[in-house]
A and B are shown apart, each in its own frame.
Chain A
């Protein structure tokens, strides 16, 4: 296992389409790194360049100290798990796993050993003589996993490996892939567009948009310290609520105001705005950080639009002008549609965004 370094990697298709632009990335040894972004953001292209399935237009890629930028896939010592499994239908499970080992001229006995070990890890050791057409989607994915482990690669690449599985299996496979990751101690790059998948699996998440990196950080970082409107909106279900406000300062302190809201910032929070000279601001608040309070403590009073019970909690929706704001509240709270609500915010969790640059004000 080893590190992966990408330096100013750019991929251009044709004359005008830039799929990945000046991509810089350092994946640490044994790290589980997730490339996350909406479809078409270049995350898969970035991964395919590491695998050698796409040529790099400019920039360098290193595995450890090895420059692999221009090597063919077979000389890179990477392994990959594909979205549609890409197991070979004309080979048995055993042959699928053994393919790479045979090409390495490993002897029959060692191959048997590796196949036994990896198929055991992937829990398909009882299916070795079957053909892929005789397996379920989940089992085929396990074959792909075993095949990937068997070659003992420097790095694992996983291209949306769970998105073809049904919802329940997908969630249980997350746990398994993570367990296998720990057992194999493998440096892993995992591509997905599913933010909850990314949050639950990643050591670090790289969020991409239009071929460029928007934010790199731990799941905690990107969730609680989103660096832009895009990230705050993309991460979390329901996503961050945004309120357009103006800044008013008086002897009481700093207020954030709009037609519905009058929020007096605590001195600590107000400090964040110190270097900010514009009047308008976008306030970002996570649904679970809006709290129900008494009327006299409220910064915002309105009525409940609907409630969406979720079992473990409930989501309360309110409407401010044409915007729906969502609040996560305890499940046992009895709230009816149309009921008056008095709300306040957990101030330490507020994020402020410049409406022009869409970037977060640094704290």
Chain B
């Protein structure tokens, strides 16, 4: 009898262990290639050049003249680009989801920017925005600009550059947000919307009371994933305006790590900025996990 209980218990424990065994290989990989460097970076950010514990690195970052502008620029890009991108992507997704004749080709065309890597996007726009670039040429050709009259796109205030950056970023990432929203829309059974129309709704009431609520979890996913990516914007900034003209957080890391690695302050600055970005992104990721219900233990089912 005692033996029977014992085997029963052992089987139970065995069953509980299996899931952990299955994730073990990934855990190893994670610790070796992700957790270790992160911890290393964290330790380094609290270590002085002489190998002593110090808060100096952070003090240097916070007192850096570029820190507040970088934080401000990043925030502006995140808020405006994600908002702009979300609304345009939603409009496009709703439009394409109506399956009008030619919507397939339209979908294909809107997807093109997504296929380009960030460097190519940067280069494409950079060649357009220079004084003799294709945008001015096109405007001249169309007769909007007079011969010899040029628009100096990349000259002038930081606000103009920020606006340009938001537009370029939107141009590139709208397709990927749209595709997520479109997938979500296509998962909504047609009849639930049709019922909305039959029972008295017009297009906007059905959109507001049925489609968008049913799409809400998809919207959360798309917006927060996009938010995280927007916080980490740097490459197109560097390609188009270069280092230090319009500082953003990750651009600072790359600047100290790649552009001026030999300065004595560089390692400290790079690791300080890295940890700050990591914390911000982690907060956004946690927010995502929270709203998506990953922390809720039970679902709303009986």
Contact = CB atoms under 8 A, between A and B. Distances in A.
Contacts of B199: 74, 79, 99-100, 103, 147, 151
A104 B198 contact: no
B148 to A, nearest CB: 54
Interface in A284-338: none
B35 interface: no
A17 to B, nearest CB: 15
Contacts of A73: 194, 197-198
B206 to A, nearest CB: 9
Given A74-B202, A82-B195, A86-B194, A99 B209 contact: yes
Contacts of B197: 52-53, 72-74
A88 B200 contact: no
A79 B213 contact: no
Interface string B187-200: 00101101111111
Interface string B281-302: 0000000000000000000111
Contacts, number: 68
B301 A103 contact: no
Contact of B198 (A78, A90, A131): A78
B153 to A, nearest CB: 46
A72 B200 contact: no
Contact of A131 (B191, B194, B205, B300): B300
A89 B192 CA distance: 9
Contacts of A80: 194-195, 198
B210 interface: yes
Given A82-B191, A89-B214, A99-B209, A133 B300 contact: yes
Contacts of B192: 86-89
- A interface, size bucket: 20 to 34
A74 B302 CA distance: 35
B184 interface: no
A24 B302 CA distance: 48
Contact of B194 (A53, A90, A133): A53
Interface in B251-281: none
A130 B40 CA distance: 51
B213 to A, nearest CB: 5
Contacts of A103: 199-201, 205
A20 to B, nearest CB: 18
A88 to B, nearest CB: 6
A100 B200 contact: yes
A124 to B, nearest CB: 15
A104 B301 contact: no
A86 B189 contact: yes
A52 B198 contact: yes
A203 to B, nearest CB: 23
A191 to B, nearest CB: 14
Interface of B: 189, 191-192, 194-202, 205, 209-210, 213-214, 300-302
Interface of A: 51-53, 72-74, 78-80, 82-84, 86-90, 99-100, 103-104, 131, 133-134, 147, 151
26 contacts: A53-B194, A53-B198, A72-B197, A73-B197, A74-B197, A74-B200, A74-B202, A79-B198, A79-B199, A80-B194, A84-B191, A86-B189, A86-B194, A87-B195, A88-B195, A90-B213, A90-B214, A99-B200, A103-B200, A103-B201, A103-B205, A133-B301, A134-B300, A134-B301, A134-B302, A151-B200
8 closest residue pairs by CB, A with B: A86-B191, A100-B199, A103-B200, A86-B195, A73-B197, A82-B191, A90-B213, A100-B200
